[in-house]
Amino acid sequence: MTALRILIGLALAWVAPVAFACGPDTDCPLGDRHYRIAMPEGHDGVTPVGAIVFAHGYRGSARGVMRNTGLRRMVSDMGLALIAVKSGDEDWVIPNAPRHPDTDGAVEFDYFEAVMGDASLRFALDRTRVMMTGFSAGGMMVWNLACARPDLFAGFAPIAGTFWLEPPEACAAPVASVIHIHGTEDRTVPLGGRPIGPTHQGDVREALAMYRAHGGFGPAEREQVEDLDCARRGNDVGAVLEFCTFPGGHSFRRGFVSYAWARLEAAGKL
């Protein structure tokens, strides 16, 4: 019996590191899905750190996000982990999307919950300091998460993406903090949306109006931050709703992510 226990212990000691051997260049398996994660450079493996979760655009990948060395370096310099998630196929399965017109998005919402649960077991993460962001189709995923799973992240920063077709009639509580960033000349995901196959991209301003009413957000205070023209609103529970535009098209800059983090941190959300 003692020899058997020793053999089992040796087997577990060998298997456990393999099971946990994932990171920025290796997938973290999660059922038939996966994600990747980059902890900040020099992290001791013990001290909990905040994180930025990034959802890729159409036909993107977690691998592709991690290849953005500038984004990885910036997030690391902020002392944060970068978690790159991956859609089940070429695009996120969210309501009214061209290939998924009848879905309620639950498969993706469950995936994100599983990612955060799994990553928290594998790595030292501070779950109270996690921001969800994404670009283009990833921004659409972010808006759906903010509406359906607002308690999963401390704040949301959709970039150049909104709901498909129209905003939901209602969102779940509690009210989330949302920082939306979009180019005024975006032709891929225009502010007013455009037809795509049998559906239509939503109107960004309709999404913002819906969420303003949902959260009871007050009048806007305008501020110019470099080339970002921002309208910022607050509410009675301290949440923030901010809409920032920049002169340009369908483009991503890592500075958008750091700006959103700074705004949420200033509001006491991170």
Measure the CA–CA gap between 13 and 10, rounded to whole angstroms: 5
Largest CA distance in the chain: 72
CA distances from 57 to 60, 139, 186 (A): 5, 8, 15
The CATH number assigned to the domain with range 24-266 reads: 3.40.50.1820
The one-digit pLDDT tens for each residue of the chain (270 residues) are 333 333 333 333 333 444 458 999 999 999 999 999 999 999 999 999 999 999 999 999 999 999 999 999 999 999 999 999 999 988 999 999 998 889 999 999 999 999 999 999 999 999 999 999 999 999 999 999 999 999 999 999 999 999 999 999 999 999 999 999 999 999 999 999 999 999 999 999 999 999 999 999 999 999 999 999 999 999 999 999 999 999 999 999 999 999 999 999 999 999
Measure the CA–CA gap between 220 and 230, rounded to whole angstroms: 9
Q: What is the pTM of this model?
A: 0.92
Side-chain half-sphere exposure of 155, counting CA atoms within 13 A: 29
Q: Hey, which residues does 131 pair with through a beta bridge?
A: 52, 155
How does pLDDT run across 36-59, given as a tens digit for each residue?
999 999 999 999 999 999 999 999
Question: What are the two backbone dihedrals, phi and then psi, of residue 118, each rounded to the nearest 5 degrees?
Answer: -70, -45
Measure the CA–CA gap between 125 and 30, rounded to whole angstroms: 18
Q: Write the DSSP symbol of residue 196.
A: E
Measure the CA–CA gap between 42 and 54, rounded to whole angstroms: 21
Q: What is the mean pLDDT of the chain?
A: 93
Q: Domain segments of the chain: what residues?
A: 24-266
